[in-house]
Structure formats: C-alpha cells, structure tokens
Amino acid sequence: MLLIFFAMIIYVLQRSHVKDKNFTDYAVGGRSFGANYQAMSFLNTWYPGAMFTAFAGLAAGAGVISFYVLAYSLLTVVLMYAMAKTVWVWGKKFDLHTQPDLFALRYDSRHIRTIAALIGIVSGFPWLVLAMQAMGGLFHFMSLGALPFSEAVILGVIVVAIRQIWTIRMGMRGVIISDMYQGIVAYVFGSVMLCALIAWLCFSKGITLGSLDPKMFALPGIGSKEGPLYLFSLLFTGTIGGWCLPFIFVRLFTAEGVVALKKSAALAMPLSLIFGVSLLIFGMLASQLPGIAGHEEDVWFLVSQQAGGLVLLGLAGVVLLAASIGHTDGSIQATGAQFANDLIGNYVDLTPRQLVTVSKLAMVVLTALAAWVACLSLPALFTLAVLAYQGVIQLAVPQFLGIFWKRGNKQGAIAGMVVGFVLVIMLELFFKETLAGAYGLSSGVLALVVNLAVYVGFAYFKPHTAQESERVETLFAVARDAQPEAIPMPIADLPVRG
C-alpha cells in the first residue's frame, strides 16, 4: 500500500513537471495557485505526520487539553485571512520570494534579511529531523515489528531522500501539486477513517466520552503545577508561531491572488475543524482500550490494526505517510530558497538561474545533513525542537507589527529579534527552574515581552526621518489601494539600502 501510494505521487509529479522560467517560478510557484491548492498546501504543511502520533497520543494520555492544537490551528487560519492582502500585494508588486524578503522591504534593510533567515533556518532544522525520525515509527509498524526501530528510521530517511529528488527538481510547484493529493489522503480520507474508528469504539467497544475518567476533562488553572497562564501560553505561541515558520509563511506568496488566498482560508477552516475534532476525540476514546496505556503515541496504529486488521493498518500507514511527506517537503524547499535568496544572494549578485542552482544545492545538502542527524541517537532532540519554536516566535514582533503598524524601524526590529532569541536560549539553559514561577508562561512569551518593549521603544525614541516616513507611507498605500490584478513593479522602486 505504501509503495503504491508513493508511486502514484511520483507519477503525478512526473506528469506535472514544468520547466521553471525564473526564480519566482521555482521559489513561489509563479504565484499561480488557486484556493483549492492553497488550502491543501497549507494543511499538508501545517499538520505533520506527528498529528497522528504525538497529538493523538497527547489526547489519549492527557485528554481535553490536547484541543489546544485545534484551537491555535483555527486561530492561525483566521490570522492568514487578516494578513492576506498586505503580504500578497507586497509580494507580487515587489517580487518577494521569502519571509526575510518581506522584512527587508518593510524595514529597508539588507541585514535584517540575513538575521531573519538564520533564525528561521536554525529553528526549523530540529523539526525537520524529528519528521524524518517519525518515519521510523511508521515503517516499524508497517513491518509488524520485524524491522528494528533504528533500521526503520534509516528506511524512512531513504524514502524521504528519494522524494526530495522531485522537490529539488520542481521547487515550490512540485511541493504544492503533491500537497493537493497528499492532503486529500491525509485530511479528507484520514478524517473519514477517524470517524469510522470512533464509531467502532462507540458501538463495538461501548466507549463514549461519558465513560472516560473525569481527569481527562481537567484543564490547568490557579493552583495547578503548570500555572494559570499555561494554556494561554500554548495557544498564543502556537497561533503566532505558525506564521513565523518560513515554510508556512511562504504559502502567502504562492496564491494567484488575494481572493484565492482568502478563499483558501475559508476552505482550510472547516477541513481543519473536522480533522482536528475527529483526531482528538479518537485519541481520548481509544485511551480506554487495553494495551494503549504506556503506548499512547502508537494509538493510531494499534487501534487501526485492532479494528480492521492488516488492511486498515496499511491504510493508517498511507495516511501517516501522506501527512509526513508534505511537511518535510515544504520545510526543505523553503529552507533551500532562503539559503539562496537571503544568505548567499543577499551579498552576492546572482542571476535567476544561479539562484535556482544555489537553492537546489542547498536542498541537497540540507536533506543529507538532516538524514545523517536523524540516524543518530539524540535524546535531547525534542527538547531542542521545543526550544527552537520558542526562538522562532521572536520573528512575530517585527513581522506582525511591521505589517499593521507604520512606526516600527529597522533598529528596533533587529535589536528586538536578537535580544528575544538570545533571551530564550538564556532562560532555557540557565533559568529553566525559575520559569516555574512565571505562572505557566513559556520562555518564548517572556522573551517576546522584552522583544516588544525594545521594538516599541526604538519606534518612539528613534522616529522615522522624513524620507523614511514617506517610503513607509508609500509602501502601506500600495497595500491599501492596489488591486490584486495590478502589474508588479520592480523592487528597485523602493530600494533596500542596508
């Protein structure tokens, strides 16, 4: 089943291959995709394969608190709707390809592009490695335990590496086209399968929400060990963090227009709601089956096999593979484009063909490096990934305030990001126990407060010059007045000085 599905994806990519005309084609798919493709591409990148393992396991082990992932996912879609016009219009008119491109345009700074790119690339790498390692669990179960986990990880890495041949060849176009088909399998068929498993648990096993332990419905509050602001911290960082991740943000540039982008948000909302609710309720109900306790992260495979034998187990593997490939592809493609556009291309004048070549080489190196690390035994990798997420949300202040507020300047943006990112590392490494007294606030949220103070402070104590005020006013007027069909104008019309 896995082989047939994988072969179908490769066939679709082969038939869909179009030679890229320029770097815009390669990095953002020529800004040519409609609402349906956009919605599925967002979902297939946003929801990794870990949804069926880690988050279904969280629902099975901790209960209703797992719904925080659904809440912040829906809020993220709402935020996409709010950001759509400004980001897409700037992206088209000034030929932006990456998240740091937007930073450079908004703050008229070349160096902020490098800083934002480094934060995004460093923060995303641990999650890419974890995604590759998750493939090990998939092949371990598909072999019915005959393949040791360490060897299953190697097999998973090989499969991911083979898939990257088409990501490297086709760039963003290949990612989005495959996301459409993978998304249908993972989140449409996956939701149908989850609903069928819920029905089996209710009618065949007699398990309902009413039969669950009341502790499964408890949330941390005043007096809890997590702290009264713990849930707020989870929701807040999850909501803003999504659009700080480079491989999510670039989805705002790939649509054919603002209308398509907003429609994609409207499509993604109900799909996300149905998938999220069914997944988390499935996990909570499945916790009552014998053999699940202590193996919560395997609940997707264990219940599928109990309910439908090898056929349903195989389908469960196909669904997980579809979800995992999309997230991995999106991460590798976005990182390669950033390396070429925002690191090398930021200081070396490269032609569009050279930008594509450097991006491809970066993706090859990144895939090889992540594959090598994934095969190592690194017990602290998940902790590092959580730390990285707290770090990447430091991009939120200059990003969101830069889009919606005119006062911010490059000095505040750069200083705030750097101070916030360094502070996250300091808090996690040296003051981890002290965070217990922060009422449940994470290191990322605490650092974000300092980041915001620095940004706002620079905005008021170092106001724009007359020339900069005029430039920013012009930039916001472009977003306010431009029609989606407007012809792009060169980025040189609003120069980035340094």
Q: For tokens 């996250």, name the residue.
A: 424
Q: Cα–Cα distance between 43 and 334 in angstroms, integer?
A: 16
Phi, psi of 457 (to 5 degrees): -60, -50
Q: Cα–Cα distance between 45 and 51 in angstroms, integer?
A: 12
pLDDT surpasses 60 at 409? yes
Cα of first residue to Cα of last residue in the chain, in angstroms, is 53
The mean pLDDT value for 21-48 works out to 89
The mean pLDDT value for 318-340 works out to 90
CB 428 within 8 A of CB 390: yes
**What's the predicted TM-score (pTM) here?**
0.89
Looking at residue 180, its pLDDT comes to 93
144 burial (CB, 10 Å; 0-12 / 13-18 / 19+) is exposed
Mean pLDDT of the chain: 88
Q: Cα–Cα distance between 55 and 43 in angstroms, integer?
A: 16
* Token digits of residue 146: 């005959």
Domains in the chain, CATH or no CATH each: 2-11+23-380 (1.20.1730.10)
Residue-wise pLDDT for 187-217, tens only, equals 999 999 999 999 999 999 999 999 998 999 9
Please, which pLDDT band fits residue 497 given cuts at 50, 70 and 90?
A: very low
pLDDT surpasses 50 at 244? yes
319 burial (CB, 10 Å; 0-12 / 13-18 / 19+) is buried
Could you say which DSSP state residue 345 is in? T
* Token digits of residue 34: 């409609």
